[in-house]
Amino acid sequence: MTRDVAPRLGFLKPALIHSTFIPALHGAQSKMSGSDVTSSVYLTDTPKQIKTKINKLVLVLATVKLPSVDTA
């Protein structure tokens, strides 16, 4: 319903990520954990923290094949 109404209200259509599991920043074999602050990017992270986490993720992605993501 939102995809039909959003354009009429002047908003972009929302996109959904369909995945059986979104892996943590440590790779596909790990899980996101609230007790491990390096396992995901939080809205409260500083730009420096986000950059550090994303740079580490690039190293993980170079060695791990993640499932494909279909965006609509």
The token pair at 8 is: 């009429």
Binning pLDDT at 50, 70 and 90, where does residue 17 land?
low
Q: Does residue 23 register a pLDDT over 70?
A: no
| Amino acid 20: pLDDT | 61
pLDDT of residue 43: 84
Helix and strand numbers, DSSP H then E, in the chain: 2, 0
Contact 30, 57 (CB under 8 A): no
Per-residue pLDDT tens for 27-68?
666 666 667 777 778 888 899 998 998 888 777 667 766 566
Measured CA to CA, the distance from residue 18 to residue 35 in angstroms comes to 25
